Amino acid sequence: MITRVAVCLVVVVLLGAIPAGVAGGSATAPTPETTATQHTLDAGINGGESAATPTVNRDATRLASTSDVLERTTTLRQLPAQPGTFETAMTFDVPEPMTGLEIDLESEAEVHTAEGFEATDRGTYRWDETTESPTVRFTMPANRTGTVDGHTSQPVAETAAMAPTSDGEHGYTFLETGEWGVVRVPTVGLSYRTATSDPIGIEETVTVDGPGTAGTELAVFGEVTEHERTVDGERIRLVVLEAADLRERPTEILDSLEAASERLDVGSSTTEAVIVAVPTDVDWGSRGLQYGPSDAWVVADAPLAEATNVWLHEYVHIRQRFANPGVGTASDSEWLIEAQAEYYAGLLAYEQELIPFREFSRLLERGTASPAADAVLVEPSTWGDSNANYRKGALVYGDLDRQLRLATDGDRSLDDVFRSLNAKDGQIREADVLEALERAGNPAIRERAERYTRTTETPEPWTRFEHRDAFDQPRATIEYGLGTDPIRVDDHPWERWDRTDIDGIDDRWRPDSGTDRGVLAVPAGERVTVPVAASNVGERAGTADVVLQAGGEIVAESQHHLESGEHASETLSWTPTDPGIYDVLVGDDRLTVVVRSTTSLTVTDLRVSPERIDPGESVTATATVTAGDDRPAAGTLEFQTAAETVSGQPIALAPGETGTVEVDLQFNEDGRYEIVAGGQSTTVTVGGVLGSIESMPGFGGIAGVVALAVALAVVLVGRRR
């Protein structure tokens, strides 16, 4: 009886402890099913203030019902009986690899129901791990005054007796009246756990339940009329509240914004920009506010024919990726944000013939008057209430633009500096600005910038004739786009598909969004190398700025000096990290790139050849894979043994396709080894006694362990006797 118990114990211990590598010596490497990875995403929640969550990919298009994307749907609802308050429902569609989720709402959120979530003693809400689409419903205060995490036109100097009136001294930035409202979309912090180390994409859809509409981080309550224009793939939505009395014709506003979009070759063009015209009879803190990466509101009576054009000012802010919370500026370069927007608002209005040069000149002249002229731009503490960053900042920025154009015979401008700052991932500091200026121009341009930003010195505005000499110089005419060589992923040639062959992709394509170059799926974390070709088709030599954009961001760039008729070819690379669908642009050529994690692949079969080898020899493991859902799949499959993990070549599959991934594995010691890939397993026998045991009918894998346990038990029994 005692001996029988011993046999049972041995079998149980072996079955529980050695599921992946049988009698192979070293401990088993963790399989994907047993590896847990913790992720924390900070939404910047602090006292109710909002900040963008940089890890949440809002520029990638939604992948419905996929295994590698956490989909968050935020639905806002107006509460007419409770002016100043609105309701929010957040629903999370949890992908299969996610094994834990915890959310942290803003401190002002008053939770009413939580379906599939349990409250914790830390004030957060934890997913119950069984509800497929947990939802939390809460109310939020809508009205905001003073400073918010956004960018504005110049603050309103004087406010007439209007209603409603804010309780604060700075006026409203967001407001809900019961009849209509403009509110910011609540943020949420996320902490989640996954069963694998593969990345999970996080995508958000914002909707309004009832009259109204939404952008990414700004929502509108009440009846609205929408007007839109698409420019090079950027959809500009002009949303006019019924309660607002729009001064300009919507078509004229869109004409101006379209011209600005085409003129600003600075990268960071969003898939969609939302600009809301709000009622004027409110104590607003400013005439306009840009909030989040691509949303803004402007007072409805803002004219187009003025140098301080609010429509253009806020649109320039939308193009300032470097000013978003995920990047941001240090205090010594903070002046650049409003200076740039104010300068381009006036310059673009003049170039669009909305204002005469004398109005543009008056905009610049404001920077020569005290107290703005007495401020030091790199020291915000010296600005006071002078709006020096708007006034002196615009003058200094314009002066540097003019001098750079003159120094380079029109080849370079501050547009190029703007673009280079947008391409940076880290915080923008004064040194970055100065280096970009010197790189575009020369040391004298840098010294001029230091002189006017580090001291109280102020440049003089220029005349119309001086403006013409600098701004009307001919520039090189450069055309560039996708090259003829294949796109490569992890240095392997990569297949492209026709978008009409991929369900769910064609319906997002707009003919006016560029030249269609097809669809491809790539694994997250793998380098994508794109061939590009540039040509100087004009009569003047100049610089070719070649830019690779993905999801509205500059991910790679290069410069070439090209003589008239000269061509250049090279490659630019991008390593996507988050699953989603991205528009990738090279000039006017547009690719649709579906980024997936390896969980998008389903392994249907795993075989090894040969099945038996001698120590020191290798086998070839072959996995048969298909797309795991109705979208293109891509990934880098891992093959695991007790001794090592080997990655196969990246693979991409269209829905319904089947492919194979192979790796060679070497085993140096006698034993029986399990090989695991994508939840499937097989075994290989390496020489020795265990090989003969494996060949017994009905034995293999774990059965071999049971046989060994029985053999050990028989030995024990024999010795007892």
pLDDT, tens digit, 9 for 90 and up, residues 73-123: 999 999 999 999 999 999 999 998 899 999 999 999 999 999 999 999 999
Q: How many CB atoms lie within 10 A of CB 454?
A: 14
The pTM score is: 0.84
Q: State the Cα–Cα distance between residues 625 and 606, nearest whole angstrom.
A: 9
User: What DSSP character marks residue 306?
Assistant: S
Non-local (6+) Cβ contacts of 3 within 8 A are 713, 716, 717, 720
Structure tokens at 169: 């001294």
- pLDDT at residue 225, as a whole number: 98
Name the one residue in this structure whose structure tokens are 């280096």.
Answer: 435
Instruction: Check: CB of residue 110 under 8 Å from CB of residue 143.
Output: no
Task: For residue 11, give the 3-state DSSP assignment.
Answer: helix
Residue 676: closest CA among 641, 632, 649: 641
In degrees rounded to 5, what are phi and psi of residue 166? -75, 155
Residue 190: closest CA among 94, 312, 105: 105
Q: How many CB atoms lie within 10 A of CB 191?
A: 16
Cα–Cα distances (Å) from 494 to 109, 199, 491, 626, 649, in that order, read: 47, 21, 9, 17, 12
Q: How many CB atoms lie within 10 A of CB 609?
A: 11
With residue 339 as reference, give the H or E element that holds it. Answer: helix 335-351
Question: For the chain, which domains are there?
Answer: 2-30+599-720 (2.60.40.10), 321-473 (1.10.390), 478-596 (2.60.40.10)
With residue 175 as reference, give the H or E element that holds it. Answer: strand 172-176
Q: What is the DSSP string of 195-233?
A: SSSS--EEEEEEEESSSEEE-SSEEEES-EEEEEEEETT
Point out which residues pair with 626 in neighbouring strands.
602, 658
Give the model confidence (pLDDT) of 368-407 as tens digits: 999 999 999 999 999 999 999 999 999 999 999 999 999 9
Instruction: Check: CB of residue 387 under 8 Å from CB of residue 313.
Output: no
Q: State the Cα–Cα distance between residues 586 and 572, nearest whole angstrom.
A: 10
Instruction: Check: CB of residue 423 under 8 Å from CB of residue 267.
Output: yes
Q: State the Cα–Cα distance between residues 183 and 179, nearest whole angstrom.
A: 13
For 408-547, where are the alpha helices, taking DSSP H only? Answer: 414-422, 430-440, 443-454, 464-471
Q: State the Cα–Cα distance between residues 698 and 708, nearest whole angstrom.
A: 14
In degrees rounded to 5, what are phi and psi of residue 387? 55, 40
Cα–Cα distances (Å) from 23 to 139, 221, 705, in that order, read: 59, 67, 8
In degrees rounded to 5, what are phi and psi of residue 635? 180, 175
Beta strands 589-596 and 515-523, pairing class:
parallel
- Label residue 698 left, alpha or beta by phi (over 0 means left) and psi (-120 to 50 means alpha): left
Angle made by CA atoms 639, 645, 647, in degrees to the nearest 5: 60
Judged against a pLDDT cut of 70, whether residue 551 lies above it is answered with yes
pLDDT, mean of residues 1-24: 30
- pLDDT at residue 207, as a whole number: 98
Instruction: Check: CB of residue 106 under 8 Å from CB of residue 187.
Output: yes
pLDDT, mean of residues 324-335: 91
Structure tokens at 613: 């080898």
Judged against a pLDDT cut of 70, whether residue 696 lies above it is answered with no
Give the model confidence (pLDDT) of 180-229 as tens digits: 999 999 999 999 999 888 899 999 999 999 999 999 999 999 999 999 99
Buried/exposed code over 460-491 (b: 16+ C-beta within 10 A; e: otherwise): ebbeeeebeebbeeebbebebbbbeeebbbbe
Q: State the Cα–Cα distance between residues 548 and 580, nearest whole angstrom.
A: 18
Judged against a pLDDT cut of 70, whether residue 40 lies above it is answered with no
Dihedral Cα 244, 249, 250, 251, nearest 10 deg:
180
Give the model confidence (pLDDT) of 450-489 as tens digits: 999 999 999 999 999 999 999 999 999 999 999 999 999 9
Q: How many CB atoms lie within 10 A of CB 695?
A: 13
Order of strands across the sheet with 515-523? 515-523, 589-596, 580-586, 542-550, 553-562
| Highest mean pLDDT (candidates 330-344, 576-590, 688-702) | 330-344
Q: How many CB atoms lie within 10 A of CB 658?
A: 12
Cα–Cα distances (Å) from 533 to 479, 482, 483, 554, in that order, read: 8, 6, 5, 17
Q: State the Cα–Cα distance between residues 449 and 400, nearest whole angstrom.
A: 7
Buried/exposed code over 407-435 (b: 16+ C-beta within 10 A; e: otherwise): bbebbbbbbbbbbbbbbeeeebebebbbe
Q: State the Cα–Cα distance between residues 541 and 475, nearest whole angstrom.
A: 8
Non-local (6+) Cβ contacts of 256 within 8 A are 304, 309, 311, 312, 348, 349, 352, 354
pLDDT, mean of residues 658-669: 96
Choice among 21-30, 136-145, 584-593 with the minimum mean pLDDT: 21-30
- pLDDT at residue 52, as a whole number: 27
In degrees rounded to 5, what are phi and psi of residue 620? -110, 120
Task: For residue 8, give the 3-state DSSP assignment.
Answer: helix
The amino acid at residue 61 is T
Point out which residues pair with 151 in neighbouring strands.
290
Residue 108: closest CA among 82, 90, 85: 85
Task: For residue 300, give the 3-state DSSP assignment.
Answer: coil
Identify the residue with better confidence: 160 or 544.
544
Cα–Cα distances (Å) from 635 to 57, 61, 622, 707, in that order, read: 19, 19, 15, 38
Structure tokens at 138: 């809460």
- pLDDT at residue 324, as a whole number: 86
Mean pLDDT of the chain: 85
Cis amide leading into 610 (omega within 30): yes
CA 437 to chain centre: 27
Choice among 288-297, 306-315, 513-522 with the minimum mean pLDDT: 513-522
- E strand residue ranges, 250-392: 272-278, 288-291, 295-299
Judged against a pLDDT cut of 50, whether residue 19 lies above it is answered with no
With residue 421 as reference, give the H or E element that holds it. Answer: helix 414-422
- Percentage helix, strand, coil for the chain under 3-state DSSP, each rounded to 5: 25, 35, 40
Cα–Cα distances (Å) from 440 to 341, 417, 548, in that order, read: 20, 7, 19
Task: For residue 658, give the 3-state DSSP assignment.
Answer: strand
Structure tokens at 232: 């090079």
Task: For residue 41, give the 3-state DSSP assignment.
Answer: strand
